[in-house]
Chain A
Amino acid sequence: MIAAVREFANRFLGRGDATITVPSFDGALRPNQKLESAETLLICESPEDLATDGRNLFIADGQRLIRLDGGTASEVRSFERPISALCALPGGGLAVALGGREVHLYASPSAEQPSVTFADAAFSAVNALAPADDNTVIATDGSATCGVDDWARDLMELNRTGRVFKLDPASKKITVLAQGLGHAFGACAHGNGVLVSESWRHRLVLVTPGSAPRTVLAHLPVYPSRLSKASGGGYWLTAFTARTQLIEFVLREPAYRRRMMAEIDPAYWVAPRLRSGLSFKEPMQGAHIKTMGVIKPWAPPRSYGIVIRLNAEGQPLYSLHSRVDGVNHGVVAAIEMGGDLVLIAKGPGRVLRLPLAGLAEEFSS
């Protein structure tokens, strides 16, 4: 009763859960335009995920699996459904999620047939894969009701149905490690548990078997996505887009959201996007007005590019950005290969490369 009254008062006064505050990009998240200076390795239609066996770079581009060797790209194989996640397995193998609904394990990237196939009915939006220490594969599933590409609807419906699975190739058993997550998107083994990005709750949680998820990094101003290990300890955390107060506000307006989802083309929703500025039908916010021919980089981002370097404890060290006036938005995957950081900017459909040398010195505060 008291809780209900308090919730009503909060909604009425815009306090408590009804506040729409978004943390600012500050400290380790201080903005820069480093991603704009990254070298474009490849432009493709719909790059989704990256994997490397140390020598070759594998890129999931729609239904095609591409190998980038030096400067040349070659198609390794193609699938019937778009690849929704990719990871390299120890021993030269490769794991591939297709359309979010099944996971294939291959002994080698070019192997004819999958060594193991997982196709559980529970799979709906498998969006990231990661190898675990005990020869198993960790898979995150964003939503039980919305497909991989329908994540904006998942956000707008306030769904909290993300799950983390453990796939055991030996026994072909699927274990649920965690459920009820706000869009699980990206995982990385961490000690005896798994670090998982919980996009809609803007945080990183540590999932350990047999206990509730523990928050590692919370109150992010962005929606975190895939993770990868960084050399020298720590992780690269991507975030596919940033939060805005307008979207936080819309998330607290059920009537508007309902009508928006029913009446408006999803491309023009008031929802985060991987790219923006393509049409005047997209929602425009006050600070987006071009003044004297200039778009302000600090305007509220409809799309944004950011990758965050975390230390071994999962705390941010520094970050690389592409701000609102930039192009390389929608960073969904980042891995280290050699002395470089390779990223996918899904917005413009680019695979990018940034030399790692000097990054830490330039941006660590």
Chain B
Amino acid sequence: MQILGHFNYWIFIVLMMCGFYMVIASDNLIKKLVGLSIFQTSVFILYISMGKIIGGTAPIVIDKAAVYSNPLPHVLILTAIVVGVATTSLGLALVVRIQEAYGTIEADEILAQDRDDSP
């Protein structure tokens, strides 16, 4: 029981590490942004799973006696999803500008072009 009780955290860690790996290992900027979004979603899963009570129901009050899952993480994550999409779209706009300026969206090629330009 103790082992199974932490299974949700392990799912979260595996997803988070997938996103983290995508961010640091791929040179493609769009893939980096997808990795960042996966990282984000894994944090959402962590928060929502903390608010869950086994045998509880969605926090819409019908009957005072019922057990409700914790609504506070839900509110927090609702805000976080919207802000996350806002930052992702800003990042994608930056990627489009980089493509126009450099002609590529691979981070190493951009760095190489910068190094050639600077001396």
User: Does B associate with A?
Assistant: no
User: Which residues of B line the A interface, CB within 8 A?
Assistant: none
User: Which residues of A line the B interface, CB within 8 A?
Assistant: none
